[in-house]
Amino acid sequence: MSSTASGKSGTWRNWGGTVTVSPAREVTPASVDELAAAVRQAAEDGLKVKAVGSGHSFTSIAATDGVSVRPQLLTGIRRIDRKAMTVTVEAGTPLKRLNIALAREGLSLTNMGDIMEQTVSGATSTGTHGTGRTSASLAAQIRALELVTADGSVLTCSDQGTEEERAVFAAARVGLGALGIVTAITFAVEPLFLLSAREEPMPLDRVLAEFDQLWSENEHFEFYWFPHTGNTNTKRNNRSAGPAQPVGQLAGWFEDEFLSNGLFHGVQLLGRAVPAVVPTVARISSTALSARSYTDIPYKVFTSPRRVRFVEMEYAVPREALVETVRELRAMVDRSGLRVNFPVEVRTAPADDIALSTASGRDSAYVAVHMFRGTPYQAYFTAAERIFTAHGGRPHWGKVHTRDAEYFAKAYPRFGEFTALRDRLDPDRLFQNDYLRRVLGQ
């Protein structure tokens, strides 16, 4: 066995428990050259290849019965370019490690999602995002990409390269693992700054009536609506001149660990066992959180621990359709008899220029529905998806949905551009799996 650890692997499950797979072989390359060799060997052996990150996708986007590439040895920062204000990082690096390392260097990403357990390649390849008025997804912050393609060659692309490299860059930033295996990512960074967060309960009717104002007045606005109630918890993040005022240790533990994870987990167990109590518990839970403000470096404000496991569906709708979408979702829950035990999360993103980004070519709002793991979710998600698709919604590539290539060809103006590039880069479908067959076609 070479330094590329490989061999028969056991059963792999994703974080949400929605995907279980037993690949024929597992490889953990320690270098790009070893990864390229593993790709060439898989092709010779007639096996498909997929890379697996931290397993935070709820779809089977990373599943394979062929060769599963684990990138945990492809980690760390390759270089920081302070003149260009970029950082180049190995693809298997967890976002948490990247954020901590950047802060140590006095640098930060501009925006990020609400957790940081994912690898940088897994997060960007599936279109992971936070919320922002003008700052977009993680993938939109990419300035260059390196990937191993189906013939085992290493391709570097950016918007400054050749025509072909620019075409790859336009697609591969949210590449779904369909164009190759990403080995390194160059992100734009900026000097470390402070964010002030204001979390505040607010009636849903007020949030919807004032949504445009709340969005326009804040750099980062999001809210959580508690089904079976008219209550939300809002969060506004804006840059601050300081001073830093982190959440106190006791207050942080009470809000983030006890209420949001410990007590919340107990509430979910109760709701799963006795669904009839869910509306009552929702009314109590939605009033448990009080207003609070704090100021800290970005990743400590954008992200928070998520220890309660769930299943999630999230769709991006045109931002102007957000209010009507949420109203329809609320009406559906109220008349359905469903017992929804998890808040609905709403965020926004500006339009970007990435072919299969959920914000491609349009200002977007994201509506995410969740259910506690082990609780039946199909009826709720099916009804929610009907509402989302009626508004031209685009599902998050890593979260539960039932859409296929025929739908996406209509939902994404540049869908054909992506599939044509895939035909050129992977004509034999080395990186194919059942999920990609459904969402991209043959």
In SS3 terms, 59-83 reads as: CCCCCCCCEEECCCCCCCEEEEECC
Any domain includes 432: no
Whether 110 and 255 share a structural domain:
no
Give the end of a domain, one of 191, 222, 254.
191
CA distance 101 to 103: 5
Please say whether the beta carbons of 126 and 138 come within 8 A: no
Whether 222 and 178 share a structural domain:
no
Any domain includes 50: no
pTM of the shown model: 0.93
Give the end of a domain, one of 162, 191, 220.
191
* pLDDT score for 10: 76
SS3 146: strand
Any domain includes 317: yes
* Amino acid identity at 239: R
Whether 168 and 275 share a structural domain:
no
Whether 238 and 133 share a structural domain:
no
CATH code for the domain in which residue 120 is found: 3.30.465.10
Beta strands of 114-228 (E only): which ranges?
142-148, 154-158, 181-188, 190-191, 194-203, 220-225
SS3 413: coil
* pLDDT score for 367: 98
Any domain includes 5: no
For the beta carbon of residue 374, count every other beta carbon within 10 angstroms. Answer: 13
Query: What does each C-alpha distance from 97 to 137, 293, 297, 299, 384 come to in angstroms?
Result: 18, 26, 15, 11, 35
Any domain includes 328: yes
Whether 348 and 251 share a structural domain:
yes
Best CA proximity match to 280, nearest among 269, 267, 290: 267
Give the end of a domain, one of 163, 191, 219.
191
End-to-end CA distance of the chain, in Å?
A: 35
Number of domains in the chain: 2
DSSP label at residue 352: B
Any domain includes 319: yes
* pLDDT score for 259: 55
Whether 284 and 166 share a structural domain:
no
Residues 73/74/77/83 CA torsion (nearest 10 deg): 170
Whether 132 and 152 share a structural domain:
yes
Any domain includes 413: no
CA distance 426 to 150: 6
CATH code for the domain in which residue 391 is found: 3.40.462.10
Write out the residue range of the structural domain in which residue 130 sits. Answer: 77-191
The beta-carbon contacts of 98-106 under 8 Å, at least 24 apart in sequence, are: 99/298, 99/299, 99/303, 100/299, 101/77, 102/189, 102/192, 103/192, 103/297, 103/299, 105/80, 106/191, 106/192
Structure tokens at 255: 């809000």
Mean pLDDT by 10 residues, the chain (442 residues): 48 89 95 98 97 93 96 97 98 97 98 94 97 97 98 96 94 98 98 97 97 98 96 97 80 52 68 75 72 94 83 97 98 95 95 98 98 92 98 98 98 98 98 98 90
Whether 364 and 223 share a structural domain:
yes
Model pLDDT for residues 19-77, shown as the tens digit of each residue: 999 999 999 999 999 999 999 999 999 999 999 999 999 999 999 999 999 999 999 99
* pLDDT score for 306: 73
Our measurement of the distance from residue 380's CA atom to the centroid of its chain's CA atoms, rounded to an integer in Å, reads 21
Whether 272 and 174 share a structural domain:
no
Structure tokens at 28: 């953990």
The beta-carbon contacts of 62-66 under 8 Å, at least 24 apart in sequence, are: 62/14, 62/19, 62/122, 62/177, 63/19, 63/21, 63/433, 63/434, 63/435, 64/21, 64/23, 64/433, 65/21, 65/22, 65/23, 65/24, 66/23, 66/24, 66/25, 66/42
Whether 155 and 82 share a structural domain:
yes
* pLDDT score for 1: 31
Any domain includes 341: yes
Best CA proximity match to 411, nearest among 356, 347, 350: 356
* pLDDT score for 295: 96
Whether 186 and 215 share a structural domain:
no
Whether 231 and 320 share a structural domain:
yes
Our measurement of the distance from residue 315's CA atom to the centroid of its chain's CA atoms, rounded to an integer in Å, reads 12
Model pLDDT for residues 85-134, shown as the tens digit of each residue: 999 999 999 999 999 999 999 999 999 999 999 999 999 999 999 999 99
* pLDDT score for 424: 97
- Token look-up 């802060």 returns 103
Residues 267/272/274/279 CA torsion (nearest 10 deg): 60
SS3 200: strand
Query: What does each C-alpha distance from 372 to 16, 264, 328, 394 come to in angstroms?
Result: 9, 10, 22, 23
